[in-house]
Chain A
Amino acid sequence: GNSVTQMEGPVTLSEEAFLTINCTYTATGYPSLFWYVQYPGEGLQLLLKATKADDKGSNKGFEATYRKETTSFHLEKGSVQVSDSAVYFCARQGGSEKLVFGKGTKLTVNP
């Protein structure tokens, strides 16, 4: 079936460190790919998305590129801030397939 495999955390970084959270997806069909962020006590909100191969989504300094050849959508940020501390979810969505999420990665950024 369709699935999303996400790097499990927790991830702890110092402020201004480089962040990578890996995400791979099953290659059924032509899904759209998303990263969502969940701040403490809140629901999920969209961080960025990419709808076709080689697209790059970006927002708030975060980036992810839709790589069809490696079926990946890794999240990166060059310099994290304390305010980036949250749980990050990778997701795929497409056609008649269910919306599928990775297990989430908790990021803690220390000052």
Chain B
Amino acid sequence: SQTIHQWPATLVQPVGSPLSLECTVEGTSNPNLYWYRQAAGRGLQLLFYSVGIGQISSEVPQNLSASRPQDRQFILSSKKLLLSDSGFYLCALEGARDTEAFFGQGTRLTVV
């Protein structure tokens, strides 16, 4: 069965520091992977999606970047965090047609 792992669960980082959030999946190959951000009281904002190794599409210009160095690994990064980067970050694995997406448990990032 497909599973998705995301870490860390919580993170407090100072402004200007770098960021690396990792997401890995199991039980599937060549998945479509997504990074979303959810600000407090807001909906899901799609940040990046990837259909394969090295293939990244950015939905919103911002201070973040994403990489997919391996088929089952999707990384969200920043060189210098801003206060506005605070939020709840979710990694998602798109299921095959007619099946649901799977989400990681999320990372609560607080930039101070």
For the complex, is A25 an interface residue (Cβ under 8 Å from B)? no
**Category for how many chain A residues contact B:** 20 to 34
Q: Provided the pairs A43-B106, A99-B34 are in contact, do residues A93 and B44 lie with their beta carbons within 8 angstroms?
A: no
| Pairwise interchain contact B103-A44, C-beta atoms closer than 8 A | yes
Tell me, rounded to whole Å, the shortest Cβ–Cβ distance linking B33 to chain A: 10
Question: By CB atoms of chain A within 10 A, which of B44, B90, B108 has the most?
Answer: B44
Q: Mark B92-105, 1 if CB is under 8 A from A, else 0.
A: 10110110110111
Closest Cβ neighbor of A46 among chain B residues? B100
Kindly list chain A residues whose C-beta atoms are within 8 Å of the C-beta of B109: none
For the complex, is B49 an interface residue (Cβ under 8 Å from A)? yes
For the complex, is B46 an interface residue (Cβ under 8 Å from A)? yes
| Pairwise interchain contact A98-B103, C-beta atoms closer than 8 A | no
For the complex, is A89 an interface residue (Cβ under 8 Å from B)? yes
User: Number of contacting residues on B, CB 8 A?
Assistant: 23
For the complex, is A56 an interface residue (Cβ under 8 Å from B)? no
Q: Provided the pairs A44-B90, A93-B94, A99-B92 are in contact, do residues A106 and B101 lie with their beta carbons within 8 angstroms?
A: no
Within 8 A of B (CB), among A23-45: 32, 34, 36, 41-45
For the complex, is B32 an interface residue (Cβ under 8 Å from A)? yes
| Pairwise interchain contact A42-B49, C-beta atoms closer than 8 A | no
Which of A34, A42, A102 interacts with B106 by CB under 8 Å? A42
| Pairwise interchain contact A51-B98, C-beta atoms closer than 8 A | yes
Q: Provided the pairs A103-B43, A104-B43 are in contact, do residues A95 and B97 lie with their beta carbons within 8 angstroms?
A: yes
| Pairwise interchain contact A93-B90, C-beta atoms closer than 8 A | no
| Pairwise interchain contact B98-A32, C-beta atoms closer than 8 A | yes
Kindly state the separation between the CA atoms of A6 and B42 in the bound complex, as whole angstroms.
13
| Pairwise interchain contact B41-A106, C-beta atoms closer than 8 A | yes
